[in-house]
Amino acid sequence: MTVMTQTQTQSRTGTEVLLDVRGVRKVYEGHGRSVEAVRDLTFAVGKGELVCVVGPSGAGKTTLLKCIAGLLAPTSGEVVLEGAAVHGPPPGMAVVFQEYGRSLFPWMTVRRNVELPLKEKKLPKARREELIHRALDAVGLADVQSAYPWQLSGGMQQRVAIARAIAYEPHILLMDEPFAAVDAQTRADLEDLVRSLWHRLGVTTLFVTHDIDEAVYLGQRVLVLSSSPTVVLDDVTIDLPDERDQLTTRSSSRFAELRGHVFEQVQRAKKQSAPVATA
Amino acid sequence: MSVLRRITRSTVAALAVPAVLLALWWVLTADSESYYLPPLSQILSTFDDVWLSDRLAADVLPSLLRLLGGFLVAVLLGVGLGVLIGSLRRLRAFCEPVLEFLRAIPPPVLVPVLMLFAGIGDTMKVLVIVSGCLWPILLNTVEGVRAVDEVLVETCRCYGVRGRARLWHLVIRSASPQIVTGMRQGLSVGIILMVISEMFAASNGLGFTIIQFQRTFAVTEMWTGILLLGVLGFLLALLMRLFERRVLNWYFGLRQAQRGGSR
C-alpha cells in the first residue's frame, strides 16, 4: 500500500495519462466520530481509455467519483487531471449521475437542458445549435427536443443526461452508476450506446458500477474496489475483442472467465472487513 | 371535443356554488323590510350607479394601484431576502426567531406606527400592505430555497453553472412552487390590508368609501362595496391562478408524471 511519489506518465495500456489518482483517502468527520470511507486509492487512466470501477455496495464508489469530480475534497492524496491538481469541478469534465430524474432540470425542455452548460461556456449560438443537434442525434433523441424530461421514460431521461455530457465536449466523462435505476432491456441498449459513443468520440471515460457483468462488458480495464475503507484490490485488463455485442460477447468463454475472476475479487472484498491491498 | 367538455364542466362546477348562494341571498332577502339588510335586487340595481361612474377611477383604481405596488414590493423583498436567508445556513439560524416574531405581529396594529413614520399618504398604505404580504412570500421562499435538490446543485457545479445563471435556473426556478404559494397567500392578505389601511386617515379608496357609506347610513351602497370587494378578490385570485398555470406548468406535469408511476 504505497502512495505514489512520482508522477505516472504511462497508464497500463501504454497511453498518455489523463487522470491520475494518487493515494486518495477520505475520512468523513462528524458528530464526534470519524468514518474512513476511502483508505488509499491509486490508479491512472490513460487518454482515451474506457475504465470501469466495480465494487460491492457501500464501497465508497460514489465518494471516489465525487473526489475525482472535484465535488468533494479528499482528506489526503490528490487527483490530477491533465497535469493539474483538481480542487473543484474542472472545466474539461462532464458527469452523468445515477439519479437521472434529479439531475435534469424539470423546468427546462430537453434542448434547454443540453444547452445550459454550453451557454455557461459562452459558446456562440451557432456552435451551440450544432452541438445540441449532434448530441441529441447521437443518443437517438433528435425528435424530442421540446419535450420536458418528466415526459420521457427513465431510459430516455438518462439519454438526455448523456447527451448533455457529450455536448459539453469533455476531456473526461464520469458516469456514476448511470444505469442502476433503469430496466434490464433499456440497460443493455444504453451500455451499447456508451460503447459506441466512446468509439465515435474517443472520450476518456470512467464508468462506476456495482454490476460486474456491466463492468466487464463495457471496460478496457476493470478496477475492483474493496469494501469500505476502500483500496484498489485488482486492476483487470479486459482482453475481449473491441467490437462487443450483447449476445456474442456475453456468451464467450473469455467473458465468463473475466467475469468469474472479477466476481471472485468482489466476493473476497465483501468478506474482508479490513482488506489488504494487492495493487 | 373532450377538452371542450372538460372546460365546460369545470366552469359549471366553479360557478354552481356561487350561483346557489346568490340565489339564496336573492330569495331570502326578496321582501326584506330591514333597513340594514336590503334585498339583493336593490343592491344590484344600485351597484352600477355607485361604482361604474367616477368612483371607478377615484376609488377603485387607487386601491388597486396601492395593492399592486405593495404586493410587488413584497414579492421583490420576500424573494430577495428569502433566497439570501435560504442559501446561507448561518444567516438562517440568526434570522429564524426574529422572523417568527415579526410574522406573529398582526399588520393592522402597525398602521398607527407606520403613520408616525410615513404619514397618512399612499406610502403608509403601501407599507401596511407590504408588512402583511411579505411574510408568507419570504417564509415560503426560504423553505423552497432550502429544499433545492442536492443532485441538481452538483450538476450545476460540474457544468460550471454559477452566478446569475445559477440563481435563476437553479435556485429561483426550483423554489418557484413555494414562491408562488407564498404569493397566493400574500395576495389574499394584501387585499385585506388594502381595505384596512384605507379605513384609517384616508381620503379615497375602496375601504374608505365603504366606511364612509356605513357612517352615513347609506346601507345599500355599503353592501354594493362589499360585493365589489368580493368580486375583485375573486378576479385577482383568478389572475393569480393563470399566472401559476403559466409559471408552474412544468411542476404540475412533473407531479402528475410521478403520481402516474412512470418513474
Structure-block grid coordinates of residue A114: 443540453
Q: Quote the pLDDT of residue B259.
A: 85
Q: Contacts of residue B155 in chain A, CB cutoff 8 Å? A: 95, 97, 103
pLDDT along chain B (263 residues), means of 10: 80 86 90 86 87 84 94 97 92 88 86 85 91 94 94 94 93 96 95 90 88 90 92 93 94 89 48
Q: Which residue has the cell 442502476?
A: A180
Query: What are the tens digits of pLDDT across the range A202-235?
Result: 999 999 998 999 999 999 999 998 887 888 888 9
Sort strands A230-237 and A76-81 into parallel, antiparallel or unpaired. unpaired
Q: Contacts of residue A69 in chain B, CB cutoff 8 Å? A: 154, 158
Nearest to A107 among B150, B165, B173 (CB): B173
pLDDT of residue A100 exceeding 90, the answer is no
Structure-block grid coordinates of residue B37: 339588510
Q: Quote the pLDDT of residue A137.
A: 93
Residue B257 lies in a domain: no
Residue B12 lies in a domain: no
User: Band of the pLDDT at A277, cuts 50, 70, 90?
Assistant: very low
Q: How far apart are CA B112 and CA A61, in angstroms?
A: 62
Residue B228 lies in a domain: yes
Q: Quote the pLDDT of residue B261.
A: 55
Q: What is the DSSP string of B84-153?
A: HHHH-HHHHHHHHHHHHHHHHS-GGGHHHHHHHHHTTSHHHHHHHHHHHHHHHHHHHHHHHHHT--HHHH
- In degrees and rounded to multiples of 5, residue B130 shows phi and psi of -60, -45
The arithmetic mean of pLDDT across residues A57-71, rounded, is: 88
Q: Which stretches within B52-88 are classed as H helix?
A: 55, 61-87
pLDDT of residue A14 exceeding 70, the answer is no
Q: Do B149 and A102 touch (CB under 8 A)?
A: yes
Domain extent, residue B108, equals: 46-247
Residue B169 lies in a domain: yes
pLDDT of residue A10 exceeding 60, the answer is no
Quote the percentage of chain A above a pLDDT of 70.
Answer: 92
In the stretch 190-209 of chain A, residues with CB closer than 8 A to chain B read none
User: Band of the pLDDT at A7, cuts 50, 70, 90?
Assistant: very low
Residue B54 lies in a domain: yes
Q: Quote the pLDDT of residue B138.
A: 95
The arithmetic mean of pLDDT across residues A97-123, rounded, is: 93
Q: Contacts of residue A116 in chain B, CB cutoff 8 Å? A: 159, 161, 165, 169
Strand order of the β-sheet with A50-54 is A84-85, A76-81, A17-30, A33-46, A230-237, A221-225, A50-54, A204-209, A172-176, A93-96
Residue B250 CB coordination number (10 Å):
20
Nearest to B253 among A97, A101, A150 (CB): A150
Residue B220 lies in a domain: yes
Q: Which has the minimum average pLDDT: A79-83, A190-194, A264-268, B20-24?
A: A264-268
pLDDT of residue A11 exceeding 60, the answer is no
Q: Do B159 and A91 touch (CB under 8 A)?
A: no
β-strand partners of A123: none
Residue B71 lies in a domain: yes
Total number of domains constituting chain B: 1
Structure-block grid coordinates of residue A147: 419535450
Nearest to A120 among B150, B151, B160 (CB): B160
Q: CATH code at B192?
A: 1.10.3720.10
Q: Which residue has the cell 456495482?
A: A210
Structure-block grid coordinates of residue A279: 495493487
Query: What are the tens digits of pLDDT across the range A145-201?
Result: 999 999 999 999 999 999 999 999 999 999 999 998 888 888 999 999 999 999 999
Q: Do B253 and A148 touch (CB under 8 A)?
A: yes
Q: Which has the minimum average pLDDT: A9-23, A263-277, B176-190?
A: A263-277
In the stretch 52-91 of chain A, residues with CB closer than 8 A to chain B read 66, 69, 71, 88-89, 91
- Pick the closest to residue A230 from A196, A192, A266, A193 (CA basis): A266
User: Taking the model in full, what pTM does it have?
Assistant: 0.86
Residue B36 lies in a domain: no
In the stretch 223-262 of chain B, residues with CB closer than 8 A to chain A read 250-251, 253-254, 257-258, 262
pLDDT of residue A271 exceeding 80, the answer is no
Task: Tell which phi-psi region holds residue A263, choosing left (phi > 0), alpha (psi between -120 and 50) or beta.
Answer: alpha
Nearest to A116 among B150, B157, B161 (CB): B161
β-strand partners of A236: A222
pLDDT of residue A120 exceeding 70, the answer is yes
Enter the ipTM. Answer: 0.86
